[in-house]
C-alpha cells in the first residue's frame, strides 16, 4: 500500500470481527511508531500491549465505550514527559504530546497497511485506567487503541477541511499566494 493511500483510507472502526489479529503485526506497528520525529531525538513513549480480556473489560468500563470489549488487543501509549522536560524545560510538556501524536500516526498508518483497524480512544478515566494497568503517576497516558479486524462497511473518506479555507500565505488571514496587484498586472500585460 502506498503511504498516500493509507493516509486517505485509514478510518476509525468501532465494530470488530471475531478474528484475532496476529500480535506480531501489532508489535511491528509499534516499532514503526519509533521512527517518528522526537525533540532532541529523545524517544519519550512507552507502549503497553493488553491481551487479558479482564483488563480489556476494565478499560472498556472506564472509557465508557462498550465496543472496546470486542477487541482482542488494546495498545496504550504512555509518555515519560520528564525525558523531554529535562532538556527542554519550557516546551517539554507540549513537545511530549506532539511527538506522541507523531508516533501514534505512524502506528495507525502501519495498522492500515496490514489491514488492521482501531479507534483512537482519548475519553477515559485516567486515574482508573492507570490503576487497572498499574501505571505509575509519573507517566502520562496519551491514548488507548482497541485493535481488531473491521466488521464495518468501509466509509467513504474525505478530507476533514477545505484546504483553501485553512491555508494562509506569508501572513495570517492572507488567502492569496501572490499579491492581487501582480495577478491583475499580468492580466493586462504589464511588466512589474
Ligand atoms: C485525541 C482524540 C481522541 C479521540 N477519542 C475518541 C474516543 O474516546 N472515542 C471514540 O470513539 N473516538 C475517539 N476519537 C476518534 C475520533 O472520533 C475520529 O478520529 C473522528 O470521528 C474522525 O473519524 P476518522 O478517524 O474515521 O477519520 C478520538 C480521536 C482523537 C484524535
Q: Is 45 in the pocket of ligand 1 (CB under 6 A)?
A: no
12 CA from centroid of ligand 1 (Å)? 7
Model pTM?
0.92
> Which sequence spans correspond to the domains of the chain?
3-154
Hey, which residues does 75 pair with through a beta bridge? 49, 145
182 CA from centroid of ligand 1 (Å)? 43
Confidence check: pLDDT of 190 > 80: no
**How much of the chain exceeds pLDDT 90, in percent?**
86
Mean pLDDT of the region 5-19: 97
Q: In this predicted model, what pLDDT tens digit does every residue of 122-148 receive, in sequence order?
A: 999 999 999 999 999 999 999 999 999
Question: Residue 19: its pLDDT value, please?
Answer: 98
Q: What are phi and psi of 129, to 5 degrees?
A: -65, -40
Of 6, 8, 11, 12, best ligand 1 pocket probe by most atoms within 8 Å of the beta carbon: 12
Q: Cα 171 to chain center, whole Å?
A: 29
Mean pLDDT of the region 152-156: 92
Confidence of residue 192 (pLDDT cuts 50, 70, 90): very low
Q: In this predicted model, what pLDDT tens digit does every residue of 33-58 receive, in sequence order?
A: 999 999 999 999 999 999 999 999 99
Per CATH, the number for 3-154 is 3.40.109.10
Sign of CA dihedral 114, 132, 130, 79: negative
Amino acid at each position: 500500500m502506498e503511504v498516500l493511500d493509507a493516509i486517505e483510507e485509514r478510518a476509525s472502526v468501532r465494530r470488530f470481527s471475531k478474528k484475532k489479529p496476529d500480535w506480531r503485526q501489532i508489535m511491528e506497528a509499534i516499532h514503526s511508531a519509533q521512527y517518528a520525529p522526537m525533540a532532541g531525538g529523545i524517544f519519550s513513549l512507552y507502549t503497553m500491549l493488553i491481551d487479558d480480556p479482564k483488563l480489556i473489560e476494565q478499560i472498556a468500563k472506564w472509557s465508557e465505550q462498550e465496543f472496546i470489549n470486542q477487541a482482542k488487543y488494546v495498545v496504550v501509549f504512555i509518555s515519560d514527559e520528564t525525558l523531554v522536560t529535562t532538556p527542554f524545560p519550557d516546551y517539554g510538556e507540549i513537545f511530549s504530546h506532539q511527538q506522541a501524536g507523531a508516533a501514534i500516526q505512524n502506528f495507525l498508518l502501519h495498522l492500515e497497511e496490514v489491514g488492521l483497524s482501531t479507534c483512537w480512544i482519548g475519553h477515559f478515566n485516567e486515574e482508573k485506567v492507570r490503576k487497572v494497568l498499574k501505571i505509575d503517576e509519573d507517566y502520562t497516558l496519551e491514548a488507548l487503541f482497541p485493535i481488531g479486524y473491521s466488521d464495518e462497511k468501509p466509509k467513504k473518506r474525505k478530507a476533514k477541511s477545505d484546504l483553501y479555507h485553512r491555508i494562509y500565505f506569508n501572513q495570517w488571514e492572507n488567502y492569496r499566494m501572490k499579491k492581487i496587484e501582480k495577478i491583475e498586472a499580468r492580466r493586462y500585460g504589464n511588466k512589474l
